[in-house]
Amino acid sequence: MATIAARPFDFKLDPARVALIVIDMQRDFLEPGGFGESLGNDVARLQAIVPATARLIAGFRAAGRPVIHTRECHRPDLSDCPPAKLSRGAPGSRIGDEGPMGRILISGEPGAEIVPELYPIAGELVIDKPGKGAFYATDLSAHLAALGITQLVFAGVTTEVCVQTTMREANDRGFECLIAEDATESYFAEFKRAAIDMIVAQGAIVGWAAPVEAIVAGLAAGEGAAATASDAAGEIAPGDLGSDGSARAASPVSPAPIGIGAGV
């Protein structure tokens, strides 16, 4: 275990059981000229966390721990987009409409892609999610169970929408959750502050919060222990995931603790 100074109190990081989830660092949300900016948002706020997020991803890669990316996007035929979501927003700026970077939030369109600075590397899992939470209508739970993950570190955008929703989903499924405060952002400064305050309130009711450098230092400190524990448990390493992110059936799978990874 590595101790990370966090809010509301120290987080005990298990370097053999932790994964990083990077939420929706997509071009349409972050880049000038994208969908987010076309709605009047200041995307510079989101752009500003790219270096810290890259640093966090590098720390997980260096420690040999899984990095999982998500993208909020829908099938081109919109069959996975409920009418209640489809009808939000001004006509012409709705999901599936033609936007500045292709059809808005449609998989395969340029705007739905992850920004180049944070692009996944071979073997990293990418979850396309139709909801705000990454567990809803995806196979994320099964992947985390196969990897023996019990702790999740969160980064990405936006703090109060997709990051917070996913963190709450994970918390209810029994994961210990830590948000990287300087690797998450909102278009609205007060929403980010409030979301993190809500997460850590009442004795970490949803989870913990810590800066990237503290998390990376904790990972590095625990690296040796992780390798030893992982060898003993026979876990699937990130490199054992297929190109579609699925775990190879032949790899030994360590059991997830009761309550973790069940259902969507």
- Given candidates 81, 118, 162, 170, which one binds ligand C5J under the rule CB under 6 A? 162
Shortest reach from residue 130's CB to ligand C5J, in Å: 12
Task: Answer yes or no: 81 catalytic.
Answer: no
Residue 240 per-residue DSSP state: G
With beta carbons less than 8 A apart as the criterion, state whether 12 and 18 touch: no
Task: Answer yes or no: 132 catalytic.
Answer: no
Q: Residue 129 or residue 173: which is nearer to ligand C5J going by CB?
A: 129
With beta carbons less than 8 A apart as the criterion, state whether 73 and 114 touch: no
Task: Answer yes or no: 128 catalytic.
Answer: no
Q: Residue 36 or residue 245: which is nearer to ligand C5J going by CB?
A: 36
- Sign of dihedral through CA atoms 37, 38, 39, 40? positive
With beta carbons less than 8 A apart as the criterion, state whether 185 and 18 touch: no
With beta carbons less than 8 A apart as the criterion, state whether 199 and 179 touch: yes
Rule CB under 6 A: is residue 158 a binding residue for ligand C5J? yes
Q: Which stretch binds ligand C5J (CB under 6 A): 44-52, 121-129, 155-163, 189-197?
A: 155-163
Shortest reach from residue 45's CB to ligand C5J, in Å: 13
Residue 114 per-residue DSSP state: B
Helix spans in the chain (H): 27-30, 35-38, 44-47, 50-62, 83-86, 140-147, 164-172, 189-204, 212-233
Question: What number of CA atoms fall less than 13 Å from residue 77's CA on the CB side?
Answer: 1
Which of the following is catalytic: 73, 81, 128, 129? 129
- Given candidates 149, 161, 199, 214, which one binds ligand C5J under the rule CB under 6 A? 161
With beta carbons less than 8 A apart as the criterion, state whether 9 and 58 touch: no
* Helices (H) then strands (E): counts for the chain: 9, 10
Shortest reach from residue 185's CB to ligand C5J, in Å: 10
Residue 139 token pair: 């196979």
Q: Which stretch binds ligand C5J (CB under 6 A): 39-47, 147-155, 157-165, 176-184?
A: 157-165
Q: Residue 118 or residue 162: which is nearer to ligand C5J going by CB?
A: 162
Q: Which amino acid makes up residue 19? A: A
Shortest reach from residue 225's CB to ligand C5J, in Å: 34
With beta carbons less than 8 A apart as the criterion, state whether 175 and 42 touch: no
Shortest reach from residue 235's CB to ligand C5J, in Å: 29
- Given candidates 28, 72, 124, 176, which one binds ligand C5J under the rule CB under 6 A? 72
Q: Residue 105 or residue 153: which is nearer to ligand C5J going by CB?
A: 105
Residue 65 token pair: 């721990």
Instruction: Please report, as residue ranges, which positions from 6 to 45 form the binding site for ligand C5J (by CB under 6 A).
Output: 24
Q: Residue 124 or residue 160: which is nearer to ligand C5J going by CB?
A: 160
User: Which sequence positions are flagged as catalytic?
Assistant: 24, 129, 162
Residue ranges binding ligand C5J (CB under 6 A): 24, 72, 157-158, 161-162
